Amino acid sequence: MCVASTGAVSPNRDLDGHQLQVLHETDATQQQTLLCGVVATENGGAVVFTWLRSQPLPRRFLDSFLRQGQTHLPSLLVQFMFAHVENTYFSENWWRSLPDGDRQHVRSLALTRNAYYTPFSYSTSRIVPWRVLDAKIEDAA
């Protein structure tokens, strides 16, 4: 795995820019939290998300990623991690393999002080060499 990450976020906008929830306002409803992690497997790795079934916003957030298609999904997820999750790590070889423009973009995401309220855009570059074999949302019993 060239990038690993784990953390909890409260997404306030989906990839299309639609507001999902209002954060940090005294009269706002409770923040809905999305937990994420990258795990190594025998065949490569997986990005796993989990949230409370009673909270619909995390699913709407993930649906916006899935609508982008499996080709773009790995790079979008990695960009999301660098922008929103402090616990994101990467290999030196991967970092050095990135073209300068992609490296600058990833650096700017990692330096975003508040990804919830600082506008940024997702790059369409293929930032990681990952290939999606399956992408689905399952309801755990």
pLDDT tens track for 107-126? 999 998 888 888 788 999 99
Specify the DSSP class assigned to residue 13.
B
Domain containing 73 equals: 3-110
Taking 70 as the pLDDT cut, the residues of the chain under it are 30, 141
The answer to whether residue 44 is domain-embedded is: yes
CB 52 within 8 A of CB 102: no
- Determine, yes or no, domain membership for 48: yes
Task: Please check whether residue 123 lies inside any domain of the structure.
Answer: no
Residue 130 lies in a domain: no
Which pair of tokens denotes residue 81?
Answer: 């991690």
Write down the pLDDT at residue 141.
Answer: 60
Whether the CB-CB separation of 77 and 65 falls below 8 Å is answered with yes
Q: Is residue 24 part of a domain?
A: yes
Tally the domains of the chain: 1
Determine, yes or no, domain membership for 101.
yes
Q: Tell me which residue has tokens 């506008």.
A: 119
Instruction: Dump pLDDT digits (tens) for 41-62.
Output: 888 899 999 999 889 999 999 9
Residue 120 lies in a domain: no
Mean model confidence pLDDT for the chain: 91
Say if 97 falls within a structural domain: yes
Residue type, 107: R
